[in-house]
Structure 1
Amino acid sequence: MSALPVDPQLYLTFLGVMAVMAATPGPANLFSVANGVQRGPAGALAGVVGMNAATLVWFAAAALGLGALVVALPQLFRLISIAGALYVAWLGLNALRGAFATAADPHAPTIRLGRSALLDGFMVQIANPKIVLFFSAVLPPFLDVTRPAAPQLALFALATVGMDVLSMSAYGLGGAALARRMSEPRFRRGFAFATGLLLLAASVLIVSRL
């Protein structure tokens, strides 16, 4: 067994997946845009802190449970890994399908902000279905059953939070300007097409490691 906490090639693949997921518009990034527009740079950054605090709560919960699951049920863990690869591929196909849509999406979500940017950010991320799917389907394929779970989770948490901070901050500080560009069908199609290709490539890499 290698002395390294994670397999370097697998970790690089995870970084690629996280880069795409962090940059893809979702509840957290849409909240960052609304938060930045309404509260300014300081409020945007406070919201980013709140969202990533929630992410660390999820990682702490994962650290308490995933290690036992890996040791007790390695075959189930393999099935979860396969399901995760299929989920990433499904995300890629959905992104490609959206790239070929010609009509603008009229159902952009409305985000109502409370009094505290920090608390708002925490609540958005703690209940974010995207992060629930991340821990149930996306993360498991990258965990190596032959290595201790805690050091792996620590490195994956570092990458996840680091990329989320960069992406959320960019969305929040970009604010209204980015929101206007994402409302343009041509720009959104190009963004979705690139996202779909990257996610499909990532799903192939995940399967190749099983």
Structure 2
Amino acid sequence: MDLPVDPARYATFLGVMAVMAVTPGPANLFAIATGAQKGRAAALTGVLGMNTASLVWFAAAAVGLGALILAFPEVFHLIAYAGAAYIAWLGIKALLGAFKKDGEPGHGAFKQGKSAYLDGFTVQIANPKAILFFTAVLPPFLDPDRPIPAQLGAFAVATIGLDVIAMSAYGLGGAALAARMTEPRFRRGFSVVVGLLLLTAAVLMALKAR
């Protein structure tokens, strides 16, 4: 029985993907910010949203969207810049929240979007790192002599599995600081840090989209 992917090629892919998963980028910075602002549950919900977007990208790759983006690079730029603008908006909201007089304990001073899942999905669907992965990193690992859908399924399991581990670690690390969010001075200071993290993520997205 033939395996869907060549074992040696798959092992190489796992090594490349592991490095990419743990490298700080827009998705991992977003996970930290969400965990710090909203706690563990929201961080993990955001991770679910980001990896749902990854599944959408894998499905798109199966129908040739990667080739479409290569043929029409302006599509790539529009998607990436739109995502960067959204993340920048979240960062600005966090910074503005830091300077508002807010008597509520907890996280009331700096909420992001209403849905951590939707925010996470938006981050990853427009993440230039994800787009670059599907248009430049993944194609060389595909074997034209084997069924493409089966290969994409095997690569999806590895990619999403490693991303879930890395993103969750970043998010839970941010959430570990959430216990101190009842302290107004700490909350305001950390809101500034979160805002800067999100703005940094937006800048990274915009720069990689060039």
Unaligned runs of 5+ in 2: 68-87, 94-111, 178-189, 194-210
Aligned residue in 2 for 1:15: 14
Name the counterpart of 1:164: 163
Bigger CA drift: 109-118 or 161-170? Answer: 109-118
Give me the TM-score of the superposition, normalised by structure 2: 0.62
Query: Where do 4+ consecutive residues of structure 1 move more than 4 Å?
Result: none
Instruction: Please tell me whether the aligned partners of residues 39 and 175 of structure 2 are also in contact (alpha carbons under 8 angstroms).
Output: no
**Aligned partners of 1:177 and 1:129: how far apart in 2?**
28
The separation in 2 between residues aligned to 1:65 and 1:51, in whole angstroms, is 21
Residues 4-35 of structure 1: CA deviation (Å, up to 9, x unaligned): 11000000000001100000000000000000
Asked if structure 2 preserves the Cα contact closer than 8 Å seen for 1:44 and 1:173, the reply is yes
Q: Any idea what SS the aligned residue of 2:64 has?
A: helix
Q: Does 1:121 align with 2:116?
A: no
TM-score (norm 1): 0.62
Superposition pairs of residues 19-30 of structure 1, within 5 angstroms: 19-30=18-29
> Which consecutive residues of structure 1, in runs of 5 or more, have no partner in the other structure?
70-108, 184-210
Q: Counterparts of 1:191-206 in structure 2 under 5 Å?
A: none
- C-alpha RMSD over aligned residues: 2.4
Q: Secondary structure, in 3 states, of the residue corresponding to 1:175? A: helix
- How many residues are aligned here? 139
| Identical-pair percentage | 68
Give the C-alpha shift of residue 115 in structure 1.
1.1
1:66 is displaced (CA, Å) by 7.4
3-state DSSP class of the match of 1:147?
coil
Task: Name the counterpart of 1:143.
Answer: 142
Structure-2 separation of matches of 1:168 and 1:175: 11
Which range moved further: 110-119 or 22-31?
Answer: 110-119
